[in-house]
Amino acid sequence: MRSISIFGATGSIGESTFDLIQRAGGPAAYRTVAVTGARNVARLAEMARELRAEVAVTADEALLPDLRAALAGSGVEAAAGAAALAEAADRPADWVMSGIVGAAGLVPGMRALRHGRTLALANKESLVTAGPLLMATAAAHGATILPVDSEHSAVFQALTGEDAGAVERVIITASGGPFRDWPLERLARATVAEAKAHPNWSMGNRISIDSASMFNKALELIETREFFGFPPEMIEVLVHPQSIVHALVGFRDGGVMAHLGPADMRHAIGFALHWPDRGHIPVERLDLARLGSLSFEAPDDRRFPALRLAREVMALRGLAGAAFNAAKEIALDHFMAGGIGFLDMAAVVEDTLERLSAEVALTSPVGTLEDVLAMDHLARTRAGELALKRKEGGRAWN
């Protein structure tokens, strides 16, 4: 029986993973080693009981007593805190879902790779902050990384059996989010509730807002570069409001392979779970005749400065990815808390990169995990200062 662990089990990716495991037979089909979450310990304990996990870990140490109480009599161990999260990744499991949101997913993912595991990577922030290190660690320890982001799973599938040397370009699609048609003046006043309302996908709050600002696509450009190794000029973004075509790969003979599927993350998660086989996955089947038409348009860089910033970060490489992601996370925190406006998020990220490039060498190669975490910390501090300055200078919209 295969063994699995789910990091970020209580999130949107985690729930979809749990659903697939349960439909396959739950504990009768897979042995669950660890499930982890942050604040929702009631749901975490429920999942751990249903899957008969070895251990349930909450990132929040203050919630350990609650988790213990919720697991009483279940035989599931309870643990809490960052060290416990990392230790959970040391426990042997054949397949590990990296479904934590943000840079917090980096350490557990790295630990799993050091043990040579198969890591289903939804946590794109790991590749953005420490791409070269992550890929080198996987190679050094015989570990496998399978992309779970829908666009990257799509590229991976389109490349299967192909010669990577014959690839001319890779195109990842973006829905354009809820603000695709909004005039710029209105964008400045967009609220958190409006930004959270993604037209096609049901996802966690943070990635939904990142989709509205295109910071999600910016992270995905870097993710494509780091995971597949294609140079930035070969990677394009195409706006496709229906979210049916997830990515396209163009070859030197002019042929283009596209990957299509419903907007349901269980496809990409299930693909990684069954890989290298193709298993049955209970997602809705595409009915193109009913859909009628699919449309495409070029992204508007003025509306979405995040894409331009991602290009700058890809040109710098080194520790710029860690700085970019951390600044983005802080800018998003401030927007969600009502401190800064929607367009201020990109401004805070840009100001942070500018400030940091005068202070440190952003292009230093990603040497160790400690280098990455130090840059992450510094960028958070600077972005926090710059966001507060912007808050004092402007007005809060939410």
216 is known to lie in a ligand binding site: yes
Q: For residues 257 and 248, is the Cβ–Cβ distance under 8 A?
A: yes
Q: For the CB of residue 209, give the shortest distance to Mg ion in the complex, in Å.
A: 14
Q: For the CB of residue 15, give the shortest distance to ligand NAD in the complex, in Å.
A: 8
Query: How far apart (Å, rounded) are the C-alpha atoms in residues 296 and 245?
Result: 10
Q: Which residues contact residue 264 at a Cβ distance below 8 angstroms, ignoring those fewer than 6 apart?
A: 16, 283, 284
- Which of residues 109 and 241 has its CB atom nearest to ligand NAD in the complex? 109
123 is known to lie in a ligand binding site: yes
- Which of residues 55 and 351 has its CB atom nearest to ligand NAD in the complex? 55
Query: How far apart (Å, rounded) are the C-alpha atoms in residues 240 and 348?
Result: 28
Instruction: Compute the 3-state secondary structure of the chain and give helix, strand, coil in percent, each to the nearest 5.
Output: 50, 15, 35
Point out which span in 183-191, 204-212, 228-236, 385-393 binds ligand NAD (CB under 6 A). Answer: 204-212
Tell me which H or E stretch contains 368.
Answer: none
Contacts to ligand NAD from residues 265-284, by CB under 6 A: 265
- Which of residues 256 and 260 has its CB atom nearest to ligand NAD in the complex? 260
What are φ and ψ of residue 37, in 5° steps? -155, -175
3 is known to lie in a ligand binding site: no
Point out which span in 135-143, 146-154, 267-275, 327-335 binds Mg ion (CB under 5 A). Answer: 146-154
357 is known to lie in a ligand binding site: no
- Which of residues 86 and 188 has its CB atom nearest to ligand NAD in the complex? 86
Binding pattern for the stretch 7-46 against ligand NAD, x by CB under 6 A and - elsewhere: -xxxxxxx----------------------xx--------
DSSP state letter for 199: S
Instruction: Rule CB under 6 A: choose which of 34, 104, 320, 386 binds ligand NAD.
Output: 104
223 contacts Mg ion (rule: CB under 5 A): no
149 contacts Mg ion (rule: CB under 5 A): yes
- Which of residues 149 and 226 has its CB atom nearest to Mg ion in the complex? 149
Tell me which H or E stretch contains 104.
Answer: none
Query: How far apart (Å, rounded) are the C-alpha atoms in residues 378 and 365?
Result: 16
* Alpha helices by DSSP H, the chain: 12-23, 41-51, 64-71, 82-90, 106-114, 124-140, 150-159, 184-187, 192-196, 205-213, 215-228, 266-274, 288-291, 305-316, 320-336, 344-359, 369-393
112 contacts ligand NAD (rule: CB under 6 A): no
Instruction: Rule CB under 6 A: choose which of 66, 125, 223, 344 binds ligand NAD.
Output: 125
- Which of residues 124 and 380 has its CB atom nearest to ligand NAD in the complex? 124
Sign, CA dihedral 327-338-343-10, equals positive
DSSP state letter for 52: T
Query: How far apart (Å, rounded) are the C-alpha atoms in residues 38 and 30?
Result: 23
Lay out the sheet containing 55-58: strands in order across. 77-80, 55-58, 30-37, 2-7, 95-98, 118-121, 144-147
- Binding positions for 1-deoxy-D-xylulose 5-phosphate are 124, 150-151, 175, 198, 211, 216-217, 220
Can you say which residues are annotated as belonging to the binding site? 10-13, 38-40, 123-125, 149-151, 175, 198, 204, 211, 216-217, 220
The residues binding ligand NAD (CB under 6 A) are: 8-14, 37-38, 59, 99-102, 104, 122-125, 149, 201, 203-204, 206-207, 265
Binding site for Mg ion (CB under 5 A): 149-151
**Residues in the annotated binding site for Mn(2+):** 149, 151, 220
